Amino acid sequence: MKLPLLPLLLAACFSAQAHTPYLLPTSFEAQPGATVSMDAGFTEKFFLSDVAFGDTRFTLTAPDGSVSPIGDVRQFRTRTVAEQKLPQEKGTYRISTGPRLGAIFRSWERAGKVEVARDPATPVPEGAKLLSHYQSLSVSEAYITAGSPTRAALKASGEGLEIVPVTHPSDLFAGEAFEFLVHYQGQPLADQKVEIFRSPMDMASQHSVERLQTDARGRIAYTPAKPGVYLALVRYRSDAPAGAKAPQYGNNYTLTFRVLAQ
């Protein structure tokens, strides 16, 4: 009777120590040609970074669908800060941290208890049953609109784990549905769990969280009750490519979006 409890114990163990990646622009609106700034990091309380996102290829997808690197990225101990001057082009821009490989996790069950190790040098105890062995792979994104919203930057990349908006992220209002798809390698993920956090955007209050699940087509229609800044989190385990440091990747994708009052 202990075996059905192991997935729950394992999930609780990882949730307790897992920091969530995020990318937060200083504004979700901009003027063409303006310099936009964004914060990226890992946190247990949105949006107060504890760990810098690290050295990845931050990118900007323009309203015409072209992708270019973000030019100015600064690394600090607890956060990563990036700035980019937008082209003189109206429309919606997609900003992305790019993929960041992180810690390697292993877990095993011994004497009815689940143990977790991040140190690759830690041996699996004799007689223990290995439950998981993976490396975290994190991507965080957001959208900024200059002028009227456009849709070319919303197109799925077809690479890795991602949220593909159906409702435009720059046109979200409290009490109205935000529809989006969850994809992995361009294919929809059915029955995939998604967590949506709402940040109070102050240093005293805790964020709230709602837990949802995609339908058979990988779609979710989420209706935010309040205005504010939200973050959607998807976690998905997949096989790692040959030569990777672990047999699996623990994919983490987050999308930060703003919801306006009616």
Higher pLDDT, 219 or 6: 219
pLDDT at residue number 202 = 81
* pLDDT bracket for residue 203 (50, 70, 90): confident
pLDDT at residue number 200 = 85
**Phi, psi of 10, deg, nearest 5:** -65, -45
Evaluate if pTM is beyond 0.75.
yes
Query: Which residue in 186, 134, 140 sits closest to 159, CA to CA?
Result: 186
**Mean pLDDT, rounded, of the chain:** 92
CA–CA gap between residue 187 and residue 20 (Å, rounded): 24
Structure tokens at 4: 């059905």
Q: Is the pLDDT of residue 6 over 80?
A: no
- Cite the DSSP H helix spans in the chain: 6-17
Task: Report the share of the chain in percent with pLDDT over 70.
Answer: 93
Q: Give the range of the structural domain holding residue 241, as residue numbers without chain letter.
A: 3-259
Domain count across the chain: 1
